A and B are shown apart, each in its own frame.
Chain A
Amino acid sequence: MAEKSALTAEAQRLPLAAALVERNALRRRLVADPTALAGLFIVAMVVVVTVAAPLLAPHDPNAQDVLNQFRPPSAHHLLGTDEFGRDELSRIIAGTRISVLTSLAVGAAILAIGVLVGTVSGLAGGLLDGTIMRVVDVLLAFPSLLLALAVAGTLGPGLFHLALAMTAVWWVDYARLVRGLVLGVKEQQYVESARALGMSGRRLALRHILPNIAPPVIVLATLQTARLLLALAALSFLGLGVGPPTAEWGAMLNDGKNFLDTAPQLMLYPGLAITITALGFNLLGEGLRDVLDPGLR
């Protein structure tokens, strides 16, 4: 008991580490927070749909039925059909996979690059740090979406090119955040003692620094997923992502815009799917922030 309270006291001095020390308390507070709970629920649903997409889709998302174009919602086609008579619901479900998995893949790539660059920059200091931060400043001095648009546009259409362009542009947020956090933790006594004991830079980073800066990085990663989802939708709406007939939310909106007068519902559903998914990640991120760092609320 005494040991635990000492641990808690130590953790309270380092508010960011507190949550990691008390995992159970963290879980309890997360479930008690309505924002986080709502976000968790939506994200869990999205994950289920992403994983089980082929099982959940009532029809083949690419099966055309030219006699049944632009059908309104019915028992057979819950969300109606599109301009080729394809089942809208099945296409949205199939699109979940591409939209969410691409956003998560880009998210993982920028997380890895950003954490690596930020940690190296923060630990090394000096000329290396200065150079890296100038690059980060320049990339931050430019609107990310436009830069991604220019890079993806120059590389040519295709989902891989789009993901590449987004990765090249979006890692800087993490790099700056992580560097700042590393600089803060670097001066802590436990890091200094580990150094004094002769621990190597890599072990120091993995054992002591990264676990202690994890909470704000997790919050950013969650919120960032929502942003990536929106950016991916916007860029593929402009025709830079998947080609036909693949179902992807942004591309579906790009198709649907031609039938605004006759079939506005084709614009409604994919957009709602994007909004609800992004909202889920935003709610979860906000909730995590409230729980991990109550001072920011």
Chain B
Amino acid sequence: MPYVARRVAYLIPTWLAITLLAFFIAQLAPGDPASVYFERLNGRPPGRIELARTRHQLGLDQPVVERYLRWLGHAVQGNLGRSYSSGLPVTHELLSRFPATLELATTATLLAVLLGVPLGVIAASRRNSLIDHVTRGASLIAASAPGFWVAYMLIILFSVKLRLLPSFGTGGVNLLILPALALGLGEAGLLARLARSSMLEVLREEYVTTARAKGLPEWRVTWQHALRNALIAVVTQVGLVFGFLLAYSAIVEVIFVWPGIGALAVNAINQRDYPMIEGFVVFAGTVFILVNLAVDLIYMALDPRISLGSQTVPAVG
């Protein structure tokens, strides 16, 4: 089978496993979900008959395998049930709030790339210089600071002390700056380190020596000849960073009252809204495996050796 077809076919078992995981997680919940559901709806614990009726209504009196299959059947059609807290369809809530998360994660990824990659390349081209040491140190600190804490430090600095930027509210590019910084800084450090080591490797290759021997100026050797090959590793990582930021935005969204799916999920967890938790795991998992697919396809386009040689799907993550 050609690589692309094999790679796409591979999505199906992975996706099924994710649905299984989502369903399994919801089964870990302590207590009777029917009782939780009834109490949420009516504000009092159910009587025996009411409990039995609710169980039947939610399909909880069926065997677990049957329940999974029925839930899966609905999930395939995009129906992930109704939220316990709002009563609205889970899919609808997730889809209506996804663009906000996408906007935040995209901005943060762009920021991480624009900040991290040039720094890494410069650090590599001036190995062991001051800028190299500063870049390595700063990226290590960025990787060690919790993102959510960085978010609060940014709020304290820019909103509370300097009163330059709003920490939350509606509308405007200004609102995007702090959450994107909070989310992107750590990943910028990661990309800088990766770009640096990848560049160092490429700069040792013979074709770089050839380019230098031809008398090309050093900036062209670095930015045109070497960077192109060094980018292969970076692009893969950028895709993973994007997926990671989609996921990690949950906490940043809560802090900045950002109307995305992450804040929705954290809310659902606090409310014990199991259909929403299940739906979120399936939704986020689906987005994540699609991002990984895109990464692999881009990787393949950049490096044709992958599709010719490898018999297995390259590991992701």
| With known contacts A138-B14, A238-B266, A143–B288 Cβ distance under 8 A | yes
The segment out of B91-99, B147-155, B229-237 that lies at the interface is: B147-155
Q: Which residue of the partner chain, among A261, A275, A283, contacts B160 with CB atoms under 8 Å?
A: A261
| With known contacts A142-B285, A143-B243, A275-B144, A150–B25 Cβ distance under 8 A | yes
- Chain B residues near A239: list those with CB within 8 A: 270
Minimum CB–CB distance for B234 against chain A, Å: 17
- Chain A residues near B289: list those with CB within 8 A: 141
- Cβ contact within 8 Å between A283 and B13: no
Q: Which residue of the partner chain, among A140, A240, A253, contacts B315 with CB atoms under 8 Å?
A: A140
Q: Counting CB contacts under 8 A, is A117 at the interface? A: no
Q: Which residue of the partner chain, among B25, B146, B160, contacts A264 with CB atoms under 8 Å?
A: B160
The segment out of B78-86, B209-217, B274-282 that lies at the interface is: B274-282
Closest A residue, CB atoms, query B159: A260
- Cβ contact within 8 Å between B141 and A141: no
- Cβ contact within 8 Å between A226 and B28: no
Minimum CB–CB distance for B202 against chain A, Å: 15
Q: Interface readout for A255-290 with B: 1 if CB under 8 Å, 0 if not?
A: 001001100100110110011101100110010000
Q: How many residues on chain A are close to B (CB under 8 Å)?
A: 45
The segment out of B54-62, B68-76, B248-256, B300-308 that lies at the interface is: B248-256
Minimum CB–CB distance for A15 against chain B, Å: 17
Q: In whole angstroms, what is the CA distance A176 to B246 when docked?
A: 24
Q: Which residue of the partner chain, among A234, A260, A270, contacts B251 with CB atoms under 8 Å?
A: A234
- Cβ contact within 8 Å between B251 and A278: no
Q: Counting CB contacts under 8 A, is B292 at the interface? A: yes
- Could you list 22 examples of A-B contacts with CB < 8 Å? A141-B292, A142-B284, A143-B246, A143-B247, A146-B284, A147-B21, A150-B265, A150-B269, A153-B269, A155-B28, A230-B144, A234-B146, A237-B148, A237-B251, A264-B160, A267-B149, A274-B146, A274-B149, A278-B144, A279-B140, A279-B144, A297-B197
- Chain A residues near B257: list those with CB within 8 A: none
Q: Interface readout for A183-216 with B: 1 if CB under 8 Å, 0 if not?
A: 0000000000000000000000000000000000
Minimum CB–CB distance for B146 against chain A, Å: 5
- Cβ contact within 8 Å between B153 and A267: yes
Most buried by B among A154, A275, A279: A154
Minimum CB–CB distance for B278 against chain A, Å: 9
- Chain A residues near B28: list those with CB within 8 A: 151, 154-155
Question: What 7 pairs between A and B have smallest CB-CB spacing?
Answer: A153-B269, A143-B247, A140-B317, A271-B149, A278-B144, A279-B144, A138-B17
Q: In whole angstroms, what is the CA distance A283 to B144 when docked?
A: 10
Q: In whole angstroms, what is the CA distance A176 to B317 when docked?
A: 11
Q: Counting CB contacts under 8 A, is A73 at the interface? A: no
Minimum CB–CB distance for A34 against chain B, Å: 10
- Chain B residues near A150: list those with CB within 8 A: 22, 25, 265, 269, 277, 280-281
Q: In whole angstroms, what is the CA distance A39 to B216 when docked?
A: 41
Q: In whole angstroms, what is the CA distance A157 to B124 when docked?
A: 45
- Cβ contact within 8 Å between B288 and A226: no
- Cβ contact within 8 Å between A238 and B254: yes
Q: In whole angstroms, what is the CA distance A142 to B160 when docked?
A: 36
Closest A residue, CB atoms, query B140: A282
Closest A residue, CB atoms, query B255: A257
- Chain A residues near B140: list those with CB within 8 A: 279, 282-283, 286
Minimum CB–CB distance for B11 against chain A, Å: 10
| With known contacts A134-B17, A282-B140, A286-B140, A145–B317 Cβ distance under 8 A | no
| With known contacts A150-B280, A271-B153, A142–B248 Cβ distance under 8 A | no
Q: In whole angstroms, what is the CA distance A293 to B34 when docked?
A: 56
B:178-237 near A, CB below 8 Å: 197
Q: Counting CB contacts under 8 A, is A137 at the interface? A: yes
